[in-house]
Structure 1
């Protein structure tokens, strides 16, 4: 019963949201480029589902590749920062600068630097999500139980054992929570970077071309936005499944 409710309730919420969206567009006669009705988006999607599916997969690959790099680097950097207060205080301002700088402003520079291919897209995904994930790693590792740390110290455990058996498990809840925001940041970076890279595939490429099309560009543009949102939701669902599997021991996963 609880499982059915957890599935049905979000579906009902989405249906109501789409119904309100459709009614709003129809009632106020909103221009297509400003806001396209969900039924028109669905019609466009059904006209050529294979094209949107294949390009969504390309964007998903860019997102996954960038996030994988970002998680790997942030675990290394975050571990070093958590182990040294001096390094943390020296590194944190740099990460904050990266985090608050509007990355949309320098996408074109990155594309010119790395070339008109997949590399600038993956780089932008990794670069934009890296500070957020690193702060999550640092916060999680520093929140390790003090009593457990004293126990490891009493048995003269090595730094590697403390990291692997205590700090990393303690950081997992925070890292997975932070990863939800990193997915959103990385997805935006992937979409805009695809458009800036002038590649041949990806939702961002289709969206940029559609923005210049005055005939049926509105439907295409909003369909790419819809597909991007669906991709983001899929990523968050996948993270939830990972969280339930990896954090069975954690209080947040207990009924």
Structure 2
């Protein structure tokens, strides 16, 4: 019983260690924001108070979460497509220097291409469905997954690599037994960056579709100077990003419990 209580206290302490600081920081920010708007009598058309944003959100929370769920669906598909393409190319690059010299410059070109220039072209080519938004999200999350996967596949202990070669392990055995495990910390780090980027890509693509999603809500609210709705949509988007990051962290702890970065947690 004592061990169970001790484990429970340790678990609650870990949660408090990670959760309390951002909660307190956010609370302080909201208090300052509310006070600034009220004391300076700022027009709601310029900057709504947090209380105004909250009242707008609770008027129709199902609407905001519904649109947020649709954007999350598009972003998730984009993440899967972009990550699959990035991992496939990273595997190819890890086995061929020629592939790296051929593919990596193209990946950099994709990275530096302005998203707002690509989205309208994709909408014209593919229509107003889900496909162009998924492609935009995939393009945005492709590069961080590619770079981290390449780095992870190469970050292998040289002594362990020499041992595998000494027992005449095949290249694919070396890849699955050595390179894939060494790449997992890098891939989880990439996901923490790529998933929010996929959300951003989906939102930007929704500006040009006139279909649905948080991007459309933000676009319409901005054009109508409905700042309360605008900030409520941003609140849902930000909350989704935070929850996704927390989910990835929990999965990472479960999968990488053996890694040195989690041994002291």
Q: Same fold (TM over 0.5)?
A: yes
TM range, smaller chain: over 0.9
CA deviations over 1:16-36 (Å, ceiling 9, x no partner):
222222223334444435433
Question: Which of 216, 227, 236 is the matching residue for 2:245?
Answer: 236
> What displacement does 1:153 show?
0.9
Q: Does 1:156 pair with 2:165?
A: no
Q: Does 1:69 pair with 2:81?
A: yes
Partner of 1:174: 186
Distance in 1, Cα, partners of 2:165 & 2:46: 61
Partner of 1:106: 118
SS of equivalent residue, structure 1 residue 197 = coil
SS of equivalent residue, structure 2 residue 216 = helix
Distance in 1, Cα, partners of 2:15 & 2:191: 27
Question: Which of 77, 95, 99 is the matching residue for 1:83?
Answer: 95
- Any unmatched runs of 5+ in structure 2? 1-8
Relative to 1, partners in 2 of residues 1:98 and 1:10: Cα closer, same or farther, differing over 3 Å?
A: same
Question: Which of 204, 211, 229 is the matching residue for 2:215?
Answer: 204
Are the equivalent residues in 1 in contact too, given 2:137–2:202 (CA < 8 A)? Answer: yes
Distance in 2, Cα, partners of 1:160 & 1:24: 61
> What displacement does 1:150 show?
1.0
Are the equivalent residues in 1 in contact too, given 2:74–2:134 (CA < 8 A)? Answer: yes
CA deviations over 1:195-222 (Å, ceiling 9, x no partner):
21111x21111111112224xx211111
Partner of 1:52: 64
SS of equivalent residue, structure 1 residue 193 = helix
Q: TM-score, length-normalised on structure 2?
A: 0.90
Partner of 1:191: 203
Q: Does 1:226 pair with 2:235?
A: yes
Q: Does 1:5 pair with 2:12?
A: no
- Any unmatched runs of 5+ in structure 1? none
Are the equivalent residues in 1 in contact too, given 2:107–2:143 (CA < 8 A)? Answer: yes
SS of equivalent residue, structure 2 residue 179 = helix
Q: TM-score, length-normalised on structure 1?
A: 0.93
Distance in 2, Cα, partners of 1:183 & 1:30: 35
Question: Which of 37, 47, 51 is the matching residue for 1:39?
Answer: 51
SS of equivalent residue, structure 1 residue 32 = coil
Number of equivalenced pairs: 252
SS of equivalent residue, structure 2 residue 208 = helix
